[in-house]
Structure 1
């Protein structure tokens, strides 16, 4: 079901220039509700108390890139009101700073699932850091997130922000610098 009313400040968890919007779903002032939701990638207007006004975004309706000004941003959308269609589009966005797939081989694929099990195709991720960044950017918005290695084995799974696999102890051991740091293979 699509929304037929405009998003306003009431639909935002945070508004104003004091909040950083990079890596968040934002509401843009528009005259059509289906063109208001974007994921903020970066820009000199994306930080808290920004030094500039440019923000680089991805439409959660079309998947197209857009350049807007910070003054067009109403605020950060409350995660619980993000529509399923927008969640599926969001699941297709690679993290900021992800390596170019033309020159790097992916090690992982990231998937995000709706509560009914629906999901879009996986997103290629080239490094462990990209994989973890994908999880962090999806976590506030998605019901379930899964990372798989190149052999399609699950290496990480979360549901409603709770880690299911690997266990907390296994994850801590993976992140321990004495064990060589993070490896998800």
Structure 2
């Protein structure tokens, strides 16, 4: 189980102050554990220290054990975890995170639900997504880490599926048309 493992720079695809952290699973240094952080693996949602060569220090995180929001300083971060090293339990917790900047569910009607599946078929509850932009962002944030990602509409029909990082439904041409439509016309559109 990942609780006992100590991750090092060899487990990271990028390290140092030059790497961007936002939207990625990050590894905290061992010194962060000594400073009171109980784990090393977190999902970075942003902060003025999350960009490469950032002038700020704050990094906003989601704990991949319990889903709670936390904050650390950039110097506590070792780097970005290699996606293939993310343990299954943390993948399931990651699948429950809505994209950074997602609209509040209290004021907006969800149009989609996002699901991410482990290779053995396990998955956690779906995540509500309010519009096409959030749906696409959910897929992009999950793609490096999840075996299978599926978006369903309000009627629970599959409208988008990705397996092993490759899109299987709808065909790529249809997705390109949808993305182009979102840029040219940010109004409602059918996914």
TM-score range with shorter-chain normalisation?
over 0.9
Give yes or no for the alignment of 1:6 onto 2:12: no
Determine the structure 1 residue equivalent to 2:40: 36
Give yes or no for the alignment of 1:24 onto 2:24: yes
1:81-115 deviations in Å (ceiling 9; x for gaps): 10000000000000000000001010000000000
**Contact 2:151 2:160 (8 Å CA) reproduced:** yes
Report the alpha carbon displacement of residue 184 of structure 1 after superposing the two structures with TM.
3.4
Any residues of structure 2 matched to 1:39-54 within 5 Å, and which? 39-54=43-58
Give yes or no for the alignment of 1:88 onto 2:92: yes
SS, match of residue 140 in structure 1 = coil
* Partners of 2:21 and 2:179 in 1: CA distance: 28
Report the alpha carbon displacement of residue 179 of structure 1 after superposing the two structures with TM.
9.1
* Partners of 1:48 and 1:2 in 2: CA distance: 27
* Partners of 1:103 and 1:145 in 2: CA distance: 26
Length-normalised TM-score, structure 1: 0.93
Which is further off, 118-127 or 33-42? 33-42
1:35-73 deviations in Å (ceiling 9; x for gaps): 110000010000010010001100001111101000000
Determine the structure 1 residue equivalent to 2:190: 184
**Contact 1:40 1:55 (8 Å CA) reproduced:** yes
Report the alpha carbon displacement of residue 169 of structure 1 after superposing the two structures with TM.
2.2
**Contact 1:173 1:179 (8 Å CA) reproduced:** no
Unaligned runs of 5+ in 2: none
Determine the structure 2 residue equivalent to 1:102: 106
1:11-48 deviations in Å (ceiling 9; x for gaps): 11100011110000000124499711000001000001
Determine the structure 1 residue equivalent to 2:65: 61
* Partners of 1:170 and 1:131 in 2: CA distance: 15
* Partners of 2:157 and 2:147 in 1: CA distance: 20
Length-normalised TM-score, structure 2: 0.90
**Contact 1:155 1:184 (8 Å CA) reproduced:** no
* Partners of 1:165 and 1:2 in 2: CA distance: 33
CA RMSD of superposed structures (Å): 2.1
**Contact 1:34 1:61 (8 Å CA) reproduced:** no
Determine the structure 2 residue equivalent to 1:70: 74
Determine the structure 1 residue equivalent to 2:175: 171
